[in-house]
Amino acid sequence: MWSWVAHRVTGVLIFFFLFVHVLDTALVRVSPEAYDKVVATYKTPIVALLEYGLVAAILFHALNGLRVIAVDFWSKGARYQKQMLWSVVGLWVVLMLGAVYPVLGHAARELFGS
């Protein structure tokens, strides 16, 4: 049940990110100065945390989507859905731990110095 909710929530969050991304990219055609200001705000530590959340949402959505495909198309998928869910969660945690430095490294250097 909760994986179903999390899959839907992450899908909606990814959709809104893509919507905002298209809008801010289109801003360069309207006002390059405004675009530069928006891009400058993206280099703040708070936005780095939001990027980490985006990575978390995309990664969970993708891994859980593969699990849903396996449940739907594998004849034994329904029988092993709980084990596959815990595998997805475990893999997601490992990959998110691996993404800490690449995604949040700049923010940490910005806050605490090199």
Q: What is the CATH number of the domain that holds 11?
A: 1.20.1300.10
The pTM (predicted TM-score) of the whole model is 0.87
pLDDT at 26: 92
Position 114 pLDDT exceeds 80: no
Q: How many domains does the chain have?
A: 1
Q: What is the pLDDT of residues 1-22, one digit of tens each?
A: 788 999 999 999 999 999 999 9
CB count in 10 Å sphere of residue 84 = 20
pLDDT at 61 over 90: yes
7 is in an annotated binding site: no
- Say what the pLDDT of residue 55 is: 96
Spatial distance between the Cα atoms of 3 and 9, rounded to a whole number of angstroms: 10
pLDDT band of residue 75 (cuts 50, 70, 90) is very high
The boundaries of the domain holding residue 12 are: 1-112
